[in-house]
Amino acid sequence: MNYNQMYKAYEGSVIASRLLARTSFPDSLTGRGEIRLQDKLGNILKNYFVIDIRRQSVLQDAMDQLWRREKRELLRPLKVRMGMDEGEEGVDHGGVQQEFFRLAIAEAFNPNYGLFAVIDEQTQMTWFHPCSPEPLYKFELLGLLFGLAIYNGLTLPVNFPLAFYRKLQGSSMKTPYGIVDGWPALSKGLQSLLDWSDGDVADVFARTYEFTVEAPGKDLMIDMQRVGRWDAWVPEELDPDANFCACCGATHDTNSTVERSASPVPSIDEAIPPKPGQGSRSDSSDSEKLSESSHASAEDGTGTKPSTPPACPSSPSSFSLTSHANMVTNANREQYVSDYIYWLTEKSIRPQFRAFSYGIFACIHPRSFSLLGPNDLKTLVEGTQDIDVDGLEATTHYDGGYAAEHQTIQDFWSTVRDFSPKQLKSLLEFVTASDRVPVTGWESVQFSVQKNGTGDERLPTSLTCYGRLLLPEYSSRAVLKEKLELAIENSKGFGVP
Q: Do 163 and 349 contact (CB within 8 A), yes or no?
A: no
Query: Which letter does DSSP use for residue 437 in this model?
Result: B
d(CA 196, CA 213): 26
d(CA 70, CA 287): 8
Cα–Cα distance list, 180 to 4, 176, 190 (Å): 36, 6, 10
- HSE-CB at 16 with a 13 A cutoff on CA atoms is 15
CB-CB neighbours of 478 under 10 Å: 12
Over the chain (497 residues), the average pLDDT of each successive run of 10 is 54 55 52 57 68 88 88 86 61 71 90 88 88 90 92 90 94 92 93 94 92 81 86 59 43 36 34 38 38 38 39 40 79 95 93 94 88 91 89 92 94 94 91 83 86 91 86 94 91 48
0.95 exceeded by the pTM? no
Distance of CA 403 to the CA centre of its chain: 39
d(CA 280, CA 448): 47
Q: Which phi and psi angles does 454 have, rounded to 5°?
A: -135, 140
Q: Which phi and psi angles does 469 have, rounded to 5°?
A: -95, 120
Helix H or strand E encompassing 79: strand 78-82
d(CA 477, CA 170): 53
d(CA 197, CA 195): 6
Q: Which long-range contacts (CB under 8 A, 24 or more apart) does 9-15 make?
A: 9/72, 9/75, 9/76, 10/47, 10/48, 10/76, 10/77, 12/72, 13/44, 13/45, 13/46, 13/47, 13/76, 14/47
pLDDT at position 276 is 35
Task: Decide the pairing of beta strands 397-399 and 448-454.
Answer: parallel
pLDDT at position 311 is 40
Q: Most distant CA pair in the chain: distance in Å?
A: 90
420 Cβ partners below 8 Å, 6+ apart?
A: none
pLDDT at position 323 is 57
pLDDT at position 275 is 38
d(CA 393, CA 406): 14
- HSE-CB at 283 with a 13 A cutoff on CA atoms is 9
Query: Which letter does DSSP use for residue 103 in this model?
Result: H
Task: Tell me how long the chain is.
Answer: 497
Q: Torsion angle, CA of 453/454/460/466, rounded to 10 degrees?
A: 20
Angle at 51 between CA 442 and CA 39, to 5 degrees: 140
According to DSSP, the residues that pair with 127 across neighbouring strands are 117
